[in-house]
Amino acid sequence: MAERNTGFGGLELLDTATEITKWNNEAHAIGLKVLEEREKEERARQEEKARLKRPMHSLNFTPVPAAKAIVAENVAKLYLLVQKRNITPVFEFTELGIQSFGATLKISDRVFTAEGPFSSKKEAKETVARLGVEFLTDNPELSNRLRKAGGGVPSGGQGVVTELNLRCQKLKMAVPEYTLPETAKGQFSATLVLGGMSFEEKGPFTSKKLAKEAVAKHGLTHLENASLPAAAGASSVELSAKLHSFIDRHRLDPAKFEITELGVTPLKYRVQLHLDGETIQNAGPFSTKQEAQNAITIQALVFLEQKYRANEENWVELLNIFAQSSIKQPPTYEDFQETSTRQNLWSSEVSIALRPQQPFGRRDLPFGSKKLARQNAAREAILWLREHDHLREDGPPKKKQKKQSSSVSSSSGSNRGDADIGISYAQQVNDLCTRHTIPVPTYDITPSSPTSPFYSAHARFTPGTIANGRPIGRVENIFGRRNAKEAVARNLVRYLEEHVREVGEVDRVLLREAGLGRFVELGG
């Protein structure tokens, strides 16, 4: 016993760590088992609920035309029919003019056309879906013919399009939506909306088929680069763990699921997910709420993987920092919402003081969220600024620093180097505080009004340390909460560097007065 007490308790610590690891593993296993049991109970409840809602006798009736208040009734019926038969429908939209659309639907080797004109894509899609419902109702043996032909959806020569459809079907993602406008006589471009992302191929292409194949390759590459298709075989517990891990890693707000019932029998569901300021949708239909949640979780993981992939530049933040540091006038965004499609698309343009009459971005290029649309517009602005030598390739301009003493250089030189390779100002503040044993400040960020996207912000250090707890680094009318914090942090970096320089000067004076000037010379 005496020998163990003189050995710093190493064996005891090792035993304790082993026990803690064992307890953690057991607790994790118990937690997974509890979640699985809850999942089974929820599935049983939903199945019982669906059973109780089924009619007790068969109903034979002629379908009543959908009222305008009913959203996409024929589209929902179509998805139910094709899901039962393992078929992937393909919708295509044609722009006939301003807010004027036509639509086509491909099922197997059949093509249905709703020439229009219709005032929205939703109206065109609903009309052409009705033709598809009638065709499938009259041809119940269609799925058998498909299986005999090889078990897949006939590609009609469009292998990449079919592959993308099958991949989305496996991942239970929303069906890809294509827009194929005629840019000139006999020339086409293509836009693909896939899982909240938008892809474009300007071409020009000599046919819609070639344009569609080209843009489908982008969608397929997007899914492959996301490295998440294997998630389709994961359990609901594993999918939930992956999503929560991603949210924790990037410090996002919790995900909010919204699952709604479709007015059909047997009971079916559609789902949408609110996450990181985005709304991700999937119309399904799904047989259970758990199936709907799994599908939208996979879709969210693919979307987040693309959005937060390594080395992706934050174009909006770059443009805001450039505007604040160089032209002293914030960029102005104009957003356009397209609500006629199921995925609620956005486009955006941005104007800056250096080119106020020619905004960047495009109104006719849709994205799955307002944030992504603004990223695209800001990206075009940043590329233009770099091309015309207003902005360096490695980031926003830095103000020239006056020559300072060596002590200041040693405290801030590495910080400046970090800034050049993309370290945020907030991180630079944390690094300076750690290096000089200063408590990390807290940030107070408030919107200009309850619904305003513009924020005012300042920071405070612990009373008795720096500025005695007074607000410092204040900024006003900054677009976006994160941008406001970054603007305050930029002011704090300058403030802290000046504070460190002044403290260094005071220390040198005190050393000289104490007769230790030689140490000052050696240190400086």
135 vs 397 pLDDT, higher one: 135
Cβ burial of 490 (10 Å; 0-12, 13-18, 19+) is buried
Examine the pLDDT at 61 and tell me if it is beyond 50: no
What local confidence, expressed as pLDDT, does residue 57 receive? 44
Task: Say if domain 406-523 classifies as CATH 3.30.160.20.
Answer: yes
- pLDDT, mean of residues 355-371: 79
Buried b (16+ CB within 10 A) or exposed e, 126-146: bbbbbbbbebbeeeeebbeeb
The number of residues in the chain equals 524
Rounded to an integer, what distance in angstroms lies between the CA atom of residue 360 and that of residue 378? 7
List the Cα angle 89/91/96 in 5-degree steps. Answer: 165
Rounded to an integer, what distance in angstroms lies between the CA atom of residue 393 and that of residue 334? 26
Q: CATH 3.30.160.20: which residues of the chain?
A: 315-387, 406-523
Buried b (16+ CB within 10 A) or exposed e, 275-297: bbebbbbbbbbbbbbbbbbbbbb
What local confidence, expressed as pLDDT, does residue 340 receive? 59
**Closest among 286, 85, 309, 267 to 174, alpha carbons compared:** 286
In percent, the amount of the chain with pLDDT more than 70 equals 66
Strand-pairing partners, residue 184, are 187
Is residue 370 a contact partner of residue 206, using CB atoms and an 8 Å limit? no
Strand 256-262 and strand 197-205: pairing?
unpaired
Q: Which of 20-24, 159-163, 361-365 has the lowest mean pLDDT?
A: 20-24
259 vs 524 pLDDT, higher one: 259
Residue 521: partners with Cβ closer than 8 Å, 6 or more residues away: none
Strand-pairing partners, residue 286, are 269
Strand-pairing partners, residue 494, are none
Residue-averaged pLDDT of the chain: 72
What local confidence, expressed as pLDDT, does residue 350 receive? 93
- Residue 420 vs residues 55, 87, 242, 424: alpha-carbon distances, Å: 67, 52, 33, 10
Residue 367: partners with Cβ closer than 8 Å, 6 or more residues away: 197, 198, 345, 346, 347, 348, 373, 376
| Helix/strand/coil (H/E/C) assignment for every residue in 335-379 | EEEECCCCCCEEEEEEECCCCCCCCEEEEEEEECCHHHHHHHHHH
Ramachandran class of 403: left when φ > 0, alpha when ψ lies in -120 to 50, beta otherwise: beta
Examine the pLDDT at 409 and tell me if it is beyond 50: no
What local confidence, expressed as pLDDT, does residue 349 receive? 92
And the tokens for 104?
């086509």
HSE-CB of 517 using CA atoms within 13 angstroms: 3
Examine the pLDDT at 523 and tell me if it is beyond 90: no
What local confidence, expressed as pLDDT, does residue 518 receive? 54
List the Cα angle 217/222/228 in 5-degree steps. Answer: 130
Distance of CA 50 to the CA centre of its chain: 33
Is residue 465 a contact partner of residue 499, using CB atoms and an 8 Å limit? no
And the tokens for 445?
């960020």
Rounded to an integer, what distance in angstroms lies between the CA atom of residue 187 and that of residue 210? 10
Report pLDDT digits (tens) over 463-503.
777 777 788 888 887 777 888 888 888 888 888 888 888 77
List the Cα angle 511/514/519 in 5-degree steps. Answer: 40
The H-or-E segment that residue 283 falls in is strand 278-286
Cβ burial of 459 (10 Å; 0-12, 13-18, 19+) is buried
Strand-pairing partners, residue 40, are none
Ramachandran class of 469: left when φ > 0, alpha when ψ lies in -120 to 50, beta otherwise: left
Rounded to an integer, what distance in angstroms lies between the CA atom of residue 325 and that of residue 332? 16
315-387 CATH, one of 3.30.160.20, 1.10.3720.10, 3.20.20.140, 3.40.50.410: 3.30.160.20
And the tokens for 356?
């106020």
Helices (H), 236-308: 236-249, 289-307
Q: Which of 34-38, 49-53, 367-371 has the lowest mean pLDDT?
A: 49-53
- Residue 257 vs residues 34, 226, 232, 270: alpha-carbon distances, Å: 21, 22, 19, 11
Q: Which of 168-177, 404-413, 424-433 has the lowest mean pLDDT?
A: 404-413
Report pLDDT digits (tens) over 425-452.
888 888 888 888 888 888 988 887 776 6
Side chain identity, residue 478: I
Rounded to an integer, what distance in angstroms lies between the CA atom of residue 498 and that of residue 132? 71
Examine the pLDDT at 104 and tell me if it is beyond 80: yes
